[in-house]
Structure 1
Amino acid sequence: MTIEERRARDRTARRRLITSTARSIAEKEGWDAVTTRRLSTEIEYSQPVIYKHFASLDEITDAVALEGFEELAIALRKARLAAAADGAVGAVARTYAAFATDAPALYDAMFVISTRLPFGAHSPTALSVAFAEMRAAIAPRVGGEDVDVLTEVLWAALHGLVVLDRAGRIEQGRLDDRIDVIVNRLVVDAS
């Protein structure tokens, strides 16, 4: 291994340590608790070392969000591939909701906290892959409808349900029922 390769590996490891520590603090105490001072204390690196890897806390949050999109894409793919064709949309929808519920601070970094990540046509690869997994589940079940629009509607509806459920703004314990309504209204009988 060359010196440059070792330095690159060490730099990647430090970046990963910073993002995983930020994520851990946020999951335990919320994103307001994530500061460069707190991170430097937790990882035992000076604040200038953190700023050598990330220009700002926003950049750290964006990096955490990208990690989240990668994890979400993997989870959605596993759910889609494990389900029967006619159950893929429901499996993906439930996986999405479970992902958001199981890691609320990560989900917030991805969708709630203001971010500089572009959504839409210029989305980062990780976000596009997550969208593609949801699209792959719904595409065979939408008949002649616009699959991209229906995928966006599914994503938006699930996001709304998750946020409202987490905030206690809708009756608790009925998330699966609501997911069934969304899935049953969006998909058509393929037979």
Structure 2
Amino acid sequence: MFQLDGGLAFAREDTPEPLKDAFAALLESLAEVAGDGVHPGLFTEVFWAALHGLATLTRSGRLPPEETERRMELLVDRLAVL
């Protein structure tokens, strides 16, 4: 599912600035809820990956659309309560 090369560099020096800025915004929002002993960057990567997966599966019709909002609530509520 994630094997297509979109041509964008992630987590490298040549990563485009808008991608770095987007990750930095997530990191800023999630750093305080990462939890004890969890690196904020790692926590943000997990959140981003889960969000990306939900968005990709929803857009492709692989997840029932009627539960889209509830899935997002679960992701945010469960990962942001640490």
TM-score of the superposed pair, with normalisation by structure 2: 0.79
Show the 5 A alignment for 1:48-87.
none
User: Following TM superposition, where does structure 1 have runs of at least 4 consecutive aligned residues deviating by more than 3 angstroms?
Assistant: none
Q: What is the aligned-residue RMSD (CA, Å)?
A: 2.1
The answer on whether the counterparts of 1:143 and 1:188 sit within 8 Å (CA) in structure 2 is: no
Give identity over the alignment, percent.
Answer: 37
Equivalent in the alignment of 1:114: 5
| Cα shift at 1:174 | 1.3
Report 1 or 2 for greater relative contact order, CA contacts < 8 Å, sequence distance ≥ 6. Answer: 2
SS state of the match for residue 174, structure 1? Answer: helix
Q: What is the rounded CA distance, in whole Å, between the counterparts of 1:167 and 1:119 in structure 2?
A: 23
Q: What is the aligned counterpart of 2:54 among 131, 156, 161?
A: 161
Equivalent in the alignment of 1:141: 33
Q: Which amino acid aligns with 2:35?
A: G
**Greater helix share, 1 or 2?**
1
Matched, 1:177 2:82: no
Tell me which structure has the larger Cα radius of gyration: 1
Show structure 1 runs of 5+ residues with no match.
1-110
Count how many residue pairs are aligned between Structure 1 and Structure 2: 79
Q: Which amino acid aligns with 2:53?
A: G
Equivalent in the alignment of 1:45: none
Show structure 2 runs of 5+ residues with no match.
none
| Cα shift at 1:161 | 0.7
Q: What are the superposed Cα offsets for residues 64-123 of structure 1, whole Å, 9 maximum, x if unpaired? A: xxxxxxxxxxxxxxxxxxxxxxxxxxxxxxxxxxxxxxxxxxxxxxx9963332111322
